[in-house]
């Protein structure tokens, strides 16, 4: 006779096995993508290097990396583009913001493999030769930084913010730039910079 007071799982399926199963399912697509064509298996060691080609600032970069490498680490450690900063490494400060196909992303939470085949734009690719991007010039004109650590992420995010059509008022700018933290609290100057540069940057909404 079964003791109904026994709370132990009878089926062998419990919270721990569920989590283990879910985690396993989550990594399958990544492992499959990370497998080399001749490996013949999706069960290869995910720590083995994989080939990936990233299109960064208009240049193709062929890398051999751990499949778990974030886009931020790929940019900084493998390509040598250190403009994107590592602040929190947890998606909370915005210092690592880059544009992928025109969309703002925090590169510390984006796998490099997931960015393959898409156009990645970093702070290094914003200027045209010696000519600064209007947003870079506006940050200088408006003194929109102190230590400068958050600035590359602020500028990339600001470009995205304008392109999204979210720069029509101070409130809008503050709201849509709220994912970018500035420990030096240069926020009023950042808002002023975004307002200065906005008319020079076509928004995707206007193109519509
Ligand atoms: S370093 Fe990516 S959000 Fe902070
Ligand atoms: S200028 Fe120092 S953190 Fe923003």
For the chain, which residues make up each domain, given as ranges?
48-124, 134-201
Ligand 1 centroid from CA 40, angstroms: 36
CB 158, CB 190: distance < 8 Å = yes
pTM (predicted TM-score): 0.79
- Specify the residue with its C-alpha closest to ligand 1, atom 3: 91
Which bin fits 106, alpha (ψ -120 to 50), beta or left (φ > 0)? beta
pLDDT in tens, 82-127: 999 999 999 999 999 999 999 999 999 999 999 999 999 999 999 9
Would 48-124 and 134-201 be classified into the same CATH topology?
A: no
> Tokens 């970093």 identify what position?
122
Compute the distance between CA of residue 93 and CA of residue 32 in angstroms, rounded to an integer.
31
Query: In 10 A of CB 201, how many CB atoms?
Result: 18
Residues present in the chain in total: 208
> How does 72-94 read in b/e, with b if 16+ C-beta sit within 10 Å?
bbbbbebbebebbbbbeeeeebb
- CATH of the domain spanning 48-124: 3.10.20.30
Q: How high is the mean pLDDT of the chain?
A: 84
In this structure, of 34-43, 87-96, 165-174, the range with the lowest mean pLDDT score is: 34-43
pLDDT of res. 43: 66
CATH topology of domain 134-201: DNA polymerase; domain 1 (1.10.150)
Atom of ligand 1 at shortest range from CA of 87: 1
pLDDT of res. 45: 75
Atom of ligand 2 at shortest range from CA of 144: 1
């Amino acid at each position: 006779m079964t003791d109904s007071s026994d709370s132990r799982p009878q089926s062998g399926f419990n919270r721990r096995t569920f989590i283990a199963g879910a985690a396993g399912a989550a990594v399958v697509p990544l492992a499959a993508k990370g497998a080399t064509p001749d490996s013949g298996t999706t069960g290869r060691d995910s720590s083995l290097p994989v080939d990936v080609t990233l299109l960064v600032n208009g240049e193709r970069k062929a890398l051999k990396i751990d499949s778990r490498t974030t886009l931020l680490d790929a940019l900084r450690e493998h390509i040598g583009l250190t403009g994107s900063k590592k602040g929190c490494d947890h998606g909370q400060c915005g210092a690592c913001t880059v544009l992928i196909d025109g969309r703002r992303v925090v590169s510390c939470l984006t796998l490099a493999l997931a960015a393959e085949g898409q156009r990645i734009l970093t702070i290094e690719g914003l200027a045209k030769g010696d000519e600064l991007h209007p947003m870079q010039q506006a940050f200088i004109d408006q003194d929109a930084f102190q230590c400068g650590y958050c600035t590359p992420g602020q500028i990339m995010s600001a470009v995205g913010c304008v392109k999204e059509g979210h720069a029509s008022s101070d409130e809008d700018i503050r709201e849509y730039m709220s994912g970018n933290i500035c420990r030096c609290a240069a926020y009023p100057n950042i808002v002023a910079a975004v307002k200065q540069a906005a008319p020079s940057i076509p928004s995707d909404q206007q193109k519509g």
